[in-house]
Structure 1
């Protein structure tokens, strides 16, 4: 695994915040705009917060200017802190996450984030669940509205932090939605789709990820893929793997 870059999504992949983020959006919109509009039905699965802001603001008759977007972000982060402190029975670190992160760290992999969350929101969530210490950098959902544009940002950030570049063939993107898979495929990275979010294993497998797993508890197959890639065995690093 030494020399591999592994980029993780957050919600549905590392943690389940039990709706804290969506509720924070709802409350932030109410705080700012009251009854001036109706919050649209938001598909947050794999979406960036920048894209969601561009859906929310017009619904309340607000222009998508930089100042208005920042105003919404600030209100959202205020409410997110509150929501993460609220007792939520389903909020948890997802199965296998801590063990896998430990294995990857011990094996010399470089860990980063590739998430649709605002950067500040991402760290709030990871800190709340006690897994922030595994990561020091990432690409975040306030950088681009389109998730596929975050891949190059993540590679550049990793190079800045580690002082060397990472080829896409030695980069793995881990996520729970088709958008995560597409994001990895857009830069030629390997992709691991994990069915701990809103999409089934069958739905994710249809997107042709390099590997599809039911949860990150399947650490042996994940570590095996990374070891093959770090050893330069390209034939083991391409193509779709059968789901388990």
Structure 2
């Protein structure tokens, strides 16, 4: 019986995609609008539909059908797949940690990611990580624009799959940005933050992560972090 639900962020937590991820959105914008995006937007910790919505707004575009956006994002990543695989890497300690946690019968591992579902599956497959994760109970960028809204989605899917509810104490989000931390806190999950992306450990603590790790190299430390109960009292940061 699965009693602990781990929801992994992908980009910056499990995988470093190099420059390719940021290039995806201007390419999709140009294909959908017929012109280049003159103004770029921040992408870290956001859902892909949210990134594209701001990209459209900042460049004076409206009325693009969401389904077409999702389809184009999927097409563009497929075209970039070989480049993404060549430029990217699995971050240190990831495989060892996923394998160790996957060996524990009471633990279910999935993803909570801003990637649309097809892109999440492609990225994980390119780097051989799919075998460790139950993607059927994950939550994706095409499930909700706001990242915090994805936590209840994953919890509902896991409850249906495993036959019991996962409350906030039994749900752990692992990510690398303050937006990941906020998603966990608002959505109802404990948060283990990893300073493996662009955000520092201090920034992740300030955002309110329950635990902050430098990286995932120490498998035992990761296991302790995901199993540690949320502190009874916390300050505002």
| TM-score in terms of structure 2 length | 0.89
| Aligned partner (choices 62, 68, 76) of residue 79 of structure 1 | 76
Classify 1:4/1:57 alpha carbon distance in 2 versus 1 (closer, same or farther; 3 Å): same
Query: Shift of residue 4 of structure 1?
Result: 1.1
Residue in structure 2 matched with residue 209 of structure 1 by the alignment: 209
Deviations 1:100-120 (A, max 9, x none): 101111122111111111011
Query: Shift of residue 73 of structure 1?
Result: 2.3
Give me the whole-angstrom Cα distance separating, in 2, the residues matched to 1:87 and 1:154.
27
Give me the whole-angstrom Cα distance separating, in 2, the residues matched to 1:9 and 1:87.
17
Give me the whole-angstrom Cα distance separating, in 1, the residues matched to 2:85 and 2:76.
15
Classify 1:49/1:87 alpha carbon distance in 2 versus 1 (closer, same or farther; 3 Å): closer
| Aligned partner (choices 220, 231, 237) of residue 230 of structure 2 | 237
Classify 1:82/1:217 alpha carbon distance in 2 versus 1 (closer, same or farther; 3 Å): same
Q: Secondary structure at the match of 1:151?
A: helix
Residue in structure 2 matched with residue 192 of structure 1 by the alignment: 192
Classify 1:194/1:3 alpha carbon distance in 2 versus 1 (closer, same or farther; 3 Å): same
Matches within 5 A, 1:42-191: 42-65=41-64, 68-86=65-83, 90-108=87-105, 109-136=107-134, 137-191=137-191
Residue in structure 2 matched with residue 232 of structure 1 by the alignment: none
Query: Shift of residue 61 of structure 1?
Result: 4.0
User: What is the aligned residue count?
Assistant: 231
Query: Shift of residue 168 of structure 1?
Result: 0.9
Structure 2 gap segments, 5+ residues each: none
2:18 and 2:84 in contact (8 A); partners too: no
Query: Shift of residue 90 of structure 1?
Result: 4.3
Deviations 1:24-74 (A, max 9, x none): 222222223233x53432211100112112112234543245xx2222222
Residue in structure 2 matched with residue 13 of structure 1 by the alignment: 13
2:48 and 2:116 in contact (8 A); partners too: yes
2:24 and 2:76 in contact (8 A); partners too: yes
What stretches of structure 1 move > 6 A for 4+ residues in a row?
none
Q: What RMSD, in angstroms, separates the aligned Cα atoms of the two structures? A: 2.2
Give me the whole-angstrom Cα distance separating, in 2, the residues matched to 1:72 and 1:39.
18
Instruction: Identify which range, 93-102 or 72-81, moves more after superposition.
Output: 72-81
Give me the whole-angstrom Cα distance separating, in 2, the residues matched to 1:3 and 1:98.
22
